[in-house]
Structure 1
Amino acid sequence: MRQQGISRTLLKQIKFSGGEICVDGVPVRVTYKMHAGQQLAVTLPPEIPSDHLQVSNTPLDILYEDDHFLVVNKPAEVASVPSHIYADDSMVNRVKGYLIRTHAASQVTHIVTRLDRETSGIVIFAKHHFAHTVLDTQLKQHSLKKTYFCVVSGVMNDEHAVIDAPIGRKPGSFIKRMVRPDGRSAQTEYWLTKRMPAASLLRVRLHTGRTHQIRVHMASIGHPLVGDFLYGQQTNPWIHRQALHCASVSFFNPFTQQQVTCFAPMPEDFATLIKHESDL
């Protein structure tokens, strides 16, 4: 069971919260030793949705869906998860509304990947705890791939490079991060896609998942993201947020034994920025 991605925490829930483990249709304990040719079936315990999570009926832009995963395209200016500031219309609220409207088997929202509020692009949700555990494992093993596009200030010289610099909190700030020697390991790989007179379009792949990683790393090498008020300057007339978009994700779906790859089209403000920066 562990080899199939069932975590120790989930195993406890199966044992004590209403799940079941059967071999050839007969309930067994976790200590049962299987033999070649036997079939294992696991029934997950029911999941109880939170009464405190507000429901939003704002429509979703769905890129992929099956019984286990829901992949959506998040607009800029929408938070991934609710907070005291954005309590009722984050992507989590919207997904809960969708699960209720579609009478999903489980109406508990499991967000797997998150984006900053002003970052647009792909966010992955799991439809049950086991699916969430599977993708968490892929994230830790770096087999879940995410590709971003960003526009940075200034003209980049390198066609391809890896930024390997630890990231930690900036002293005196709860939100802001910085490159610091005692920070957590962080690696950002990028490829130059387009040089413009005063900016550069990059394709980026994260090898770690630190808070604000792309924004911090690009600022640390002197090329902050265009429109990034936190790590650069919000002075560009064509985009009123950091120019960052999660354009694709790819993960293995063990339930269908297939690789799932999704793409999110470039949003209008991002495309407008590239057009005008190219025309300078």
Structure 2
Amino acid sequence: MDQLKFVWTIAQKDDGKTLRTFLLKDKMVSRQALTDIKNKGGALMVNDELVTVRHKLQPGEIVTVCFPKEEVSEYMEPIALPLDIVYEDDHFLAINKVSDLPTIPSRFGSTESLAQGVLHYYQTRGISSTIHAVNRLDRNTTGIVLFAKHRYGHSLMSKQLQAGTIDKGYLALCHGIPSVQQGVIEEPIGRKEGSIIERCVTGEGQYSKTLFEVIERFDDYSLVKLKLETGRTHQIRVHMAFKGYPLLGDDLYGGNHQMIDRQALHSTSLTFHHPFTEMIVEIEAPLPKDMKRLI
């Protein structure tokens, strides 16, 4: 995939629009992407002839947009890693991430990351793309991480994330037995004073909303299904700890390692509207062995 190309036929409703308006408003191509198309080897064509963004469209015209070839970061080393691929098409790739693996390389010099494994996968299959992670998971949280195979797809999915239309489902094991079957946690989350890692519920934090449902109760811990309405760092871990039910294995927020040596949190499902096929995509990832054992 050397150069990304999209082709659209102009409808009656777009008669008289400039190509710039059509791309920015209707196709949600970013202004920066238009600049890169102009300056970095891309192309805008109507009926196979090069045009500028000032071209006025007519019904029936064929618009072709060629995005410039992406530049892979020279600072990210591809690493061959086993990847559990749970979804893939021409635009997106979803991986069921294992524990003890960060989504992207750490600025502190992490030796391996999921992104580096994905980059190696791209290169072995001739996919000339850099890394575009749509969502991220903590190093020891398992489950679905979605990557866009090109910047345009990443931009469109980022808009869905901001609008809250990507449905992310999680399963967690928490200490204690919640007194209610289901509920909503709406508490602002911000960085804990004096820490670059830890978060906490604080009045100065960002609005955060988590929905939870107790699926099964055990002697002194519970299986809980969670849905994120916002996407703050450590949101589930912070909200559950704030309510008095820290996740098993999460010693950063009050859990312990007696039953599992990591936070017992798994991203089990991800649902989104595919911006290119117009279909609803539902992705699922089974629970890892360490959480299955406790259930």
**TM-score between the two structures when normalised by the length of structure 2:** 0.89
* Equivalent AA in structure 2 for residue 15 of structure 1: K
Q: Indicate if the aligned counterparts of 2:131 and 2:149 stay in contact, CA closer than 8 A.
A: yes
How far apart, in 2, do the equivalents of 1:177 and 1:51 lie? 32
Residue 193 (structure 1) shift? 0.9
Aligned-residue offset at 1:115 = 0.2
Deviation at 1:169, TM superposition (A): 0.7
Distance across 1 between alignment mates of 2:230 and 2:71: 32
Q: Give the aligned partner of residue 187 of structure 2.
A: 165
Partner of 2:30: 7
* Structure-to-structure mapping, 1:55-134, within 5 angstroms: 55-85=78-108, 87-104=110-127, 106-134=128-156
Identity over the aligned pairs, expressed in percent? 41
How far 1:142 sits from its partner (Å)? 1.0
Gaps of 5+ in 2: 1-22
Q: Could you tell me which of 227, 250, 254 is aligned with 2:271?
A: 250
Task: Find the counterpart in structure 2 of residue 183 from structure 1.
Answer: 205
Report the secondary structure of 2:268's partner residue: strand
Determine if contact 1:62/1:70 at 8 Å carries over to the other structure. Answer: yes
- For 1:84 and 1:166, the matched residues in 2 are separated by 27
Q: Does 1:135 align with 2:151?
A: no
Correspondence for 1:28: 51
Contact 2:181 2:214 in 1 (8 A): yes
The one-letter amino acid paired with 2:64 is A
Distance in 2 (CA, whole Å) between partners of 1:57 and 1:189 is 37
Aligned with residue 49 of structure 1, among 72, 90, 107: 72
Instruction: Say how many residue pairs are matched.
Output: 272
CA contact (8 A) 1:56 1:88 kept: no
Q: Distance in 2 between matches of 1:215 and 1:178?
A: 10
**Equivalent residues of 2:171, 2:268 under 8 A apart:** yes
Q: Does 1:150 align with 2:172?
A: yes
Q: Does 1:231 align with 2:253?
A: yes
Q: TM-score if structure 1 supplies the norm length?
A: 0.93
Q: Which residue of 2 aligns with 1:208?
A: 230
1:93 corresponds to which letter in structure 2? Q
C-alpha spacing 1:183/1:113, structure 2 compared with 1 (3 Å): same
One-letter amino acid of the structure 2 residue matched with residue 139 of structure 1:
L
| Matched-pair contact (CA < 8 Å) for 2:175–2:255 | no
Structure 1, unaligned stretches of length 5 or more?
Answer: 275-280
Q: Deviating runs (4+, > 4 A) in structure 1?
A: none
Q: What SS does the aligned partner of 1:53 have?
A: coil
| Deviation sequence 1:85-128 (CA, Å, 0-9, x none) | 55342001100111111111x23121111000000000011111
Q: 3-state DSSP class of the match of 1:211?
A: coil
* Offset of residue 51 of structure 1: 2.1
